[in-house]
Each structure stands twice: as C-alpha cells, then as structure tokens.
Amino acid sequence: MTDRTLDILIDEIVLGLADDADVARVEEMASRDPAVAKKLVRAQARFAPLDDTADEIALPDGFWSRVEQGLDAGGIETGPTQTDVVDLSAARRALTRWRGAALGSIAAAILLAMTLGWSVMTPVEPSVIAVLLNDDGEAIALVEGRPDNTTLVTLLEQAQVSSERVMQVWTKPDDDGPPISLGLLASGRSETLTIQGLPAPSPQQLYEITVEPAGGSPTNLPTGPILGKGLAKEPVI
C-alpha cells in the first residue's frame, strides 16, 4: 500500500466509510507500527472538532443505573478483556430469580457430572482436576487443567469481591518455583483461561484464586487474600 492510499484509507476509517476488513487491517498495522498509529490519531484529531458541534442534550434521569447494569452484565463484546472488574455485590443485586435458579442448576449439573467421572461435560478430557477450598473447607471453585494449558475455572460460590478488585487464578507448575498467573476471572464468573508456554499440568500441582487489584496483581505474584486453593488430581476416566 502506498503512503497516499494508506492516508486516504485512514481518513475513510475515521469518517466511518471504510469496511470492516480495512478497519481491522489498519488497526493491526497500527498495533505494530507506531507511525501508522500516529497517522490514525492525527486523522481522528482533524475531525474531532465536529464532535463538539453536536447539541448538548441532557441524558435521561437514572441513566447512570443503566450504565451500571451494563458494567455488571457483560455482553457487547464477546471474550473477556484484561481489566474487566468484578463487582459481585452489584451483580447479585442484578440477578433475577430465574438467573439465580439457572446458576444453581448449572452448579448442580456440574457436581453431578463430577460424580459421573466428567465424561458427560468435557469433550476434551482434563489432565488434572482441582477442587479449591476456602479456609473453612468449603469448595469455592473447580479447576480443570487440560494438557494444552487451557484451564476451565468453575466458580461454585459467589465471591465477595469489591468493584476495585478482580479474582486471579494461579498455579505452581514447579513445586519450588513461583506461582504463575493463569489469568483473571474478569467477569466474576466461571471462565476458560488459556496460557502459552507452561508444561502440561500434573497431579499435585497447586492451584489457587486470590483477590487482586483491578487489572491483576501489580507484582505478577499473588498479593491479595486467598479465596481458595487446592492440589490437582488426575481424574479416573
């Protein structure tokens, strides 16, 4: 692509005239090439004064609560983002009765599948399973580790996590090594996490979930209180 074509394409993206494929292509270029990113920002800045020419219209009363529902609900985008923040107290408020019932049945189904030896629920067989217990010995989450280091985390209990915090999942592939982050439970719900570059999980491997500042532990090691931990076992299949 010549510079001239790129410049025009970038302007068309800012105007909203480019098609999705071009937008994706240029965004990908911008993520690799700061010069392209700069062009994009400059083009946006050229037209930005037009935003201020719109009328200022008061948002309807109670709009903030709609926004908050959106924050709690997830959706719009598929797939978790890194700094989604957990606010389970609000999520619980927002839960309608049927959703509560549905979650309850999901949990029951999971437990049932567990007793059936997992053959029902898991198309790819996990190499290890850990039940994470809290200090009182209650199961708070179920972790299934697959050979390719996909980790399915099923929460079995609503965690008390404030809006400024997020749950982070850790494991210790090496008994004597540091804990490694498997990812954040950004939505505050059960999630599948993937990580590259770890050996396949093995029995007796430690898994734990801690509460960390939004965005994850700043030190990349667990800093917050432990919600639950457990050692992995190999399922009998």
Judged by the rule CB under 8 A, the positions of this chain that interact with other proteins are: 4, 7-8, 11-12, 14-17, 37-38, 41-60, 63-64, 66-68, 70-71, 76-77, 81-85, 87, 162-166, 211-215, 218, 223-225
- Kindly state the smallest distance separating residue 118's Cβ from other proteins, in Å: 33
Closer by beta carbon to other proteins, 14 or else 129? 14
Q: In the complex with other proteins, which residue's Cβ is closer, 44 or 190?
A: 44
In order of 98, 163, 180, 183, 204, the CA distances from 196 in angstroms are 37, 29, 11, 11, 20
- Comparing CA positions, the residue from 124, 115, 174 lying closest to residue 152 is 124
Question: Least CB distance from residue 75 to other proteins, whole Å?
Answer: 8
Phi, psi (deg, nearest 5) at residue 70: -65, -40
Residue 156: CB minimum distance to other proteins, A: 20
Those residues whose C-beta lies under 8 Å from the C-beta of residue 228, and which sit 6 or more positions away, are 132, 133, 134, 139, 140, 141, 208, 209
Comparing CB distances to other proteins, the nearer of 4 and 97 is 4
- Cβ proximity to other proteins: between 173 and 224 the closer is 224
- What tokens appear for 110 in the block? 């999971």
From the CB of 32, what's the least distance to other proteins, in Å? 14
